Amino acid sequence: MPTALITGITGQDGSYLTDFLLRQGYVVHGLVRRNSSISRSRLEPLFQDKQIYEQRLFLHYADLDDATTIRRILLKTMPDEMYHLAGQSHVGLSFEIPESTCQFTAMGTLKLLEIIRDLEKKPRFLHISSSEIFGRPEQWPQAEETPMQPVTPYGIAKAFATQMVRLYRDSFGCYACNAICYNHESPRRGESFVTRKISRAAAAISLGQQDKVALGSLDAKRDWGYAPEYVDAMWRMLQQPEPDDFVLATGETHQVQDFLEAAFQSVDLDWRDHVEQDSRYIRPSDVGHLIGDSNKALTKLNWRAETRLPELASIMVRSDLELMRGTNPAEIAPEEKNR
Ligand code: GDP
């Protein structure tokens, strides 16, 4: 059986990737932070499955800055593929904690590359990079070769990690790739991200549990896709004969306001009656017009993002409605709090 190691296995992408790899017949090992709560996590249904947990799915405690432990786990599990998803992924929060964002997102990736460089049996390595590396770009849409101009601590850390992955590929012969992912959302998205904040609010308001939701900039634009489709592309990337970087995006951009419109419409509400603007959610600096060109992924991986914004918003609201009514045991509410 092929074996994969995933950092950040308890996150949105980590949990979808785990589902995907298990379906493909993989043995999956996940790294979990020492202080990460794995009960009530997005992996809960898999822990309950006796055919899966500790049969084909194994968790190992290791912090990203603990190189010795990670090396030991790599030597023990000898994965064929390694998916590096971990890191402080909230852009807004990265302004408040820039040092630890860089420590985990930038230096954490370099440490993994250093460990892999020394291994005799090197796993194929995938780094989940981000559209944030393009920052305020001068060309639209952005593709793999678009110059990086990050404008947030998170984007700067990701740019460093992305460039390091290229260096280890070109100079040290590692099979190392960057998936340059545009925003991708789902019912498993952390509650502090704007799409999930909106889907939860639309669900709670329609159930009469709350009346208002406070948001920041409504005209901010993003290229929003559906997360389960993106983990499929991540896997396809590591099946290629040569390592390479790929932009993963829908190629469509929308304002926060468009997501609000679609989410509230799906429960027959008018968002204008329920949204308050709150300056606490306005960022010191935000990215410009980000829209991804995934033509290379279409040509080489035969992958394209299928789910578009109105459907995405309605999937998320429906799931939150079921969660709030207690009728959706498969999706456990993540523990993160609104920011
Ligand atoms: P990001 O692209 O990783 O930063 O994803 P987010 O979902 O955190 O933010 C997307 C955009 O929504 C950003 O431009 C935010 O400024 C904007 N936004 C507006 N209101 C909010 C809010 O209440 N919370 C968050 N997280 N973002 C908001």
> Can you list the pairs that 60-63 forms with residues at least 24 positions away whose Cβ atoms lie under 8 Å?
60/29, 60/30, 60/31, 60/32, 61/31, 61/32, 61/33, 61/34, 62/31, 62/32, 62/33, 62/34, 63/33, 63/34
Of the candidates 89, 130, 131, 206, the residue annotated as catalytic is 130
Whether residue 338 is predicted with pLDDT greater than 50 in this model: the reply is no
d(CA 43, CA 12): 10
pLDDT in the model for residue 328: 67
The residues pairing with 124 across neighbouring beta strands, listed in sequence order, are 81
Which pair of structure tokens corresponds to residue 256? 């926060």
Q: What is the mean pLDDT of residues 298-323?
A: 98
Task: State the distance from the centre of ligand 1 to the C-alpha of 70, rounded, in angstroms.
Answer: 33
| pLDDT exceeds cutoff 70 at 337 | no
Nearest atom within ligand 1 for CA of residue 217: 19
pLDDT at 339 over 60: no
- Tokens 């947990």 sit at which residue? 53
For residue 286, give the ligand 1 atom closest to its CA.
14
Which atom of ligand 1 lies at the shortest distance from residue 218's CA? 19
d(CA 332, CA 20): 18
46-59 pLDDT, tens digit each: 999 999 999 999 99
Q: What is the pLDDT of residue 89?
A: 83
Task: Count, in order, helices (H) and strands (E) of the chain.
Answer: 12, 13
**For residue range 175-218, what is the model confidence (pLDDT) as tens digits?**
999 999 999 999 999 999 999 999 999 999 999 999 999 999 99
pLDDT band with cut points at 50, 70 and 90 for residue 40: low
Burial 53-90 (b: 16+ CB within 10 A, else e): eeebbebbebbbebeeebbebbeebebbbbbbbbbbbb
What Cα–Cα distance (Å) separates residue 170 from each residue in 118, 167, 242? 16, 5, 12
Q: Is 130 a catalytic residue?
A: yes
Strand partners, 57: 28, 53
Gap from CA of 95 to ligand 1 centroid (Å): 13
Name the pLDDT band for 37 (thresholds 50, 70, 90).
low
Cβ of 335 less than 6 Å from ligand 1? no
Asked whether 255 lines ligand 1 (CB < 6 A), one says no
- SS3 state at 233: helix
- Paired tokens of 76: 């023990």
Residues in the chain: 339
Domain range summary for the chain, segments of one domain joined by +: 3-184+224-248, 190-222+252-291+310-331
Q: Which residue has the tokens 């996590």?
A: 41
Mean pLDDT of the chain: 94
What local confidence, expressed as pLDDT, does residue 34 receive?
A: 80
Q: What is the mean pLDDT of residues 236-259?
A: 98
- Is 3.40.640.10 the CATH classification of the domain at 190-222+252-291+310-331? no
Say what the pLDDT of residue 329 is. 53
Q: Is residue 215 lining ligand 1, measured as CB closer than 6 Å?
A: yes
Q: Give the active site residue among 132, 185, 229, 261.
A: 132
pLDDT exceeds 60 at position 333: no
The answer to whether domain 3-184+224-248 and domain 190-222+252-291+310-331 are alike in fold is: no
Written as one string, the DSSP assignment of 168-191 is: HHHHH---EEEEEEPPEE-TTS-T
Ligand 1 pocket member 61 (CB < 6 A): no
Is residue 266 among the annotated active site residues?
no
Domain 3-184+224-248 sits in CATH 3.40.50.720? yes
Q: Distances in Å between the alpha carbon of 61 and those of 33, 37, 38?
A: 6, 11, 11
Tokens of 330: 């498969």
